[in-house]
Structure 1
Amino acid sequence: MPYPFLALCALAITSAFLLSGCLATPGQPGVEPAVFETPEYHAQRGLAVVKASALYARGGTGQDVTVALIDSGLDASLEEFEGRLSDPGFDYVENRPGTIDRVGHGTQMAGILAANKDHQGMHGIAFNARLIPFRFGDDNEPFFFDSEIAQSWQSGFDKGARLFNNSWANAIPATEINEARYNQVMPDALAVARKLVADGAVFVFPTGNELKREPLAEPGLPVALPELEKGWIAVVALRSDGSAINAKSNYCGVAAAWCIAVPGGDAGAQAGLLTVGKDGRYMQTAGTSPAAALVSGALAALQSLYPQLGPQQVREHLLATTNRTGIYANSEAYGRGLMDLEAASRRVPGPMVD
């Protein structure tokens, strides 16, 4: 549905900061959201639910923003990812630069996040963003690959990524994690996460797919380590139409303050989100993993609209502009509410400190 273009400010801005209380954004005057609401856009049903076309109309497409994808790898030769990699990344399973994807999970997440807008199939929410893929462990529990995950995060950061999509989590309830226990499970990753959050990075995690009222370890980690919260987002999955939490997602629970709700698809024929499979064919995916990828891509698209802001400021703006009406006022389930990219691209971010 079209949303009217709203100019955020008519003043000329000569610096990255606020002048006369208004932040400049690289909008596209006269461009209506309907221009972006193509068959390719509607094929990935989550985009309309979060009002992505309004963000595109204002200039937020992910241009010049890099996201690190820590997953089961990615086949960069697929057409949907042509031009989408800023670096080949690294395969910690085969110990070599570049990645393959035997499982297909990483490719599916990459499609949700940044598949090309090329009039074929579907496109990612941040179709102009760049990816750095990392492969670890395939189907096994992440804690077996602590060192590989830590190295992926650090390498991604060193290569320019400040947003990290982690569509995985250890199967330990967040309510059972404290600093000492997590330091036993993931010591290397914890050390790198602390360092990178202090340096401005943002980590995105799914709440998990166990139909529980609390998230898993990683999405809830700031409960045990509050200093991580400023660089953390937990993601709960909704049905494809955004009408309610899906049939597998954990609630936000103790992570409510840094948790957001987006479509993640649901079980059943044609109930998932359309994405790209490892063979290059389009397929349905469902769960909190694609929901997390949708949020990582939204952060990248919003970052490209507000290049003056740091990633953690973009994160807070995204959380502050959610839809909290109706069912989304239930913070236990939906945290800060339903992601709303029309509001996030229309409402000027709060004051920044020079």
Structure 2
Amino acid sequence: MPVFHPTKPLLSLHHLILLTLPMLLLGCMSTPTPMPAEPDTRRFESPEYFAQKALPIVKASSLYARGGTGQGVRVALIDSGLNLELPEFYGRIYDPGYDFVRHQPGVIDVKGHGTQMAGILAANKNDQGIHGIAFNAQLIPMRFGDDREPFYFDSEIAQAWDLAYTKGARIFSNSWANPIEANTNEVPVYERLMGESLSMAKKLVAEGAVFVFSTGNEVKREPLAEPGLPALVPELEKGWIAVMALKNDGTAINLKSNYCGLAARWCIAVPGGDGSAGLLTTSKDSSYGPTAGTSPAAALVSGALAALQSRFPEMTPQQIRERLLSTANRTGIYANSEAYGRGLMDLEAASRL
């Protein structure tokens, strides 16, 4: 019968265990996942950055270092128009918009308010003056109203929102509000005075849009009409942010701002300037000057949404809105939700994975 002649000695069970054990142990050990490096914010903390005093308070450089600059995101600027010729807005205009005062495409800005808000939101990062919080975002400006109360322009506002939406805007910056307090007993008043714009807001929120409004500058404990609307129309809340204004250093409410009040669940706090020492921004004549109140505060939050959207492009605008609100700083004075709503906007926290 055949005889087996092994070319190598057979291993005993004891030897097999000794050889296999180290491999089994290595297989059970997981390789440590390296902690992500902290973002290098220094390259974004330029004189232009610090000239816009709100940016360090909300920790915008952390968002920039993580890639959130507003690149590719369109924002509707519903205001007094915009000086489209200023160098601060070269490359920042997605569409020249529509002028509902002159009834023609392309806006101008007689009052200058819209140009100021555009600077807070998206002025270029070009080592000149200041830059916007979302310096790579693109604007779609809409001009309405000028010196009259928004109630008189209900139809124009509705058309402006609709047109901006069709052009790709999903974030709507509204640095204005009708001069009556939000009041849950006044539903018929809102429906009568805001019939078309309220219907349009419901439609666009259902389709994923986010509206940003200033709480108002009357030093009251309740916001004005539009920022408080979800208290009357709950389906708006998922697409709504009210914004109250702090002093430049973020330490307290500024001299003008209304509280968040009944809008506390969808309200956030950001710097909005201190009287004559407002936030530096673009003027319609190409110079730089201060602006203060809840108007620049709302523009700042609109830009923050755009910058976060570019950081998290897989998220919807309404998911970005919830992220911004849920990561706000609620410690210390900001725990007072009646005044500060969800707290101080914190873009370092909002931009973390």
TM over 0.5: yes
- Show the counterpart of 2:80: 72
Q: In the aligned structure 2, how far is the partner of 1:98 from the partner of 1:176?
A: 38
- Show the counterpart of 2:239: 231
Residue 184 (str. 1) matches residue 192 (str. 2): yes
Cα deviations across residues 318-344 of structure 1 (Å, max 9, x unaligned)?
000000010000000000000000000
Cα deviations across residues 134-164 of structure 1 (Å, max 9, x unaligned)?
0001121001011111000000000000000
Residue 54 (str. 1) matches residue 62 (str. 2): yes
Cα deviations across residues 59-90 of structure 1 (Å, max 9, x unaligned)?
00000000000000001111100110111100
Q: What runs of 5+ residues in structure 1 fail to find an aligned partner?
A: 1-26, 349-354
Q: In the aligned structure 2, how far is the partner of 1:199 from the partner of 1:177?
A: 28
- Show the counterpart of 2:148: 140
For the 8 Å contact 1:177–1:217, the answer to whether it is kept is: no
SS of the aligned residue for 2:78 comes to strand
Q: CA deviation at 1:181?
A: 1.8
- Show the counterpart of 1:324: 330
Which amino acid letter does the alignment assign opposite residue 156 of structure 1? A
- Show the counterpart of 1:173: 181
SS of the aligned residue for 2:227 comes to coil
Which of the numbers 333, 337, 341 marks the counterpart of 2:347?
341
Residue 104 (str. 1) matches residue 112 (str. 2): yes
Cα deviations across residues 239-277 of structure 1 (Å, max 9, x unaligned)?
011111101100000000000000000113xx2100001
Which amino acid letter does the alignment assign opposite residue 93 of structure 1? V
- Show the counterpart of 2:288: 282
Q: In the aligned structure 1, how far is the partner of 2:150 from the partner of 2:38?
A: 47
Residue 162 (str. 1) matches residue 175 (str. 2): no
- Show the counterpart of 1:302: 308
- Show the counterpart of 1:248: 256
Q: In the aligned structure 2, how far is the partner of 1:148 from the partner of 1:74?
A: 17
SS of the aligned residue for 2:223 comes to coil
For the 8 Å contact 1:210–1:249, the answer to whether it is kept is: yes
Q: In the aligned structure 2, how far is the partner of 1:177 from the partner of 1:300?
A: 34
Which of the numbers 199, 208, 228 marks the counterpart of 1:200?
208
Identity value in percent? 70
- Show the counterpart of 1:272: 278
For the 8 Å contact 1:164–1:296, the answer to whether it is kept is: yes
Q: In the aligned structure 1, how far is the partner of 2:141 from the partner of 2:233?
A: 27
Cα deviations across residues 75-119 of structure 1 (Å, max 9, x unaligned)?
111110011011110000000101000000000000000000000
**Considering only aligned residues, what root-mean-square deviation do their CA atoms show, in Å?**
1.1
SS of the aligned residue for 1:119 comes to coil
Q: In the aligned structure 2, how far is the partner of 1:124 from the partner of 1:248?
A: 22
SS of the aligned residue for 2:226 comes to coil
Q: In the aligned structure 1, how far is the partner of 2:162 from the partner of 2:99?
A: 14
Which amino acid letter does the alignment assign opposite residue 302 of structure 1? L
Q: In the aligned structure 2, how far is the partner of 1:221 from the partner of 1:300?
A: 23
For the 8 Å contact 1:177–1:221, the answer to whether it is kept is: no
| TM superposition score normalised by structure 1 | 0.88
For the 8 Å contact 2:39–2:62, the answer to whether it is kept is: no
Q: In the aligned structure 2, how far is the partner of 1:122 from the partner of 1:43?
A: 6
- Show the counterpart of 2:8: none
Which amino acid letter does the alignment assign opposite residue 199 of structure 2? A
SS of the aligned residue for 1:219 comes to helix
Cα deviations across residues 12-55 of structure 1 (Å, max 9, x unaligned)?
xxxxxxxxxxxxxxx9x785111100000000000000000000
Q: In the aligned structure 2, how far is the partner of 1:117 from the partner of 1:252?
A: 32
- Show the counterpart of 2:230: 222
Q: What runs of 5+ residues in structure 2 fail to find an aligned partner?
A: 1-35
- Show the counterpart of 1:263: 271
- Show the counterpart of 1:14: none
- Show the counterpart of 2:139: 131
- Show the counterpart of 1:12: none
For the 8 Å contact 1:162–1:202, the answer to whether it is kept is: yes
Which amino acid letter does the alignment assign opposite residue 322 of structure 1? A
Q: In the aligned structure 2, how far is the partner of 1:43 from the partner of 1:256?
A: 30
Q: In the aligned structure 2, how far is the partner of 1:124 from the partner of 1:143?
A: 29
Q: CA deviation at 1:213?
A: 0.4
Q: CA deviation at 1:180?
A: 2.3
For the 8 Å contact 1:113–1:127, the answer to whether it is kept is: yes
Q: In the aligned structure 1, how far is the partner of 2:137 from the partner of 2:186?
A: 35
Shift >4 Å, 4+ stretches: none
Between structure 1 and structure 2, the one with the greater Rg is 2
SS of the aligned residue for 1:243 comes to coil
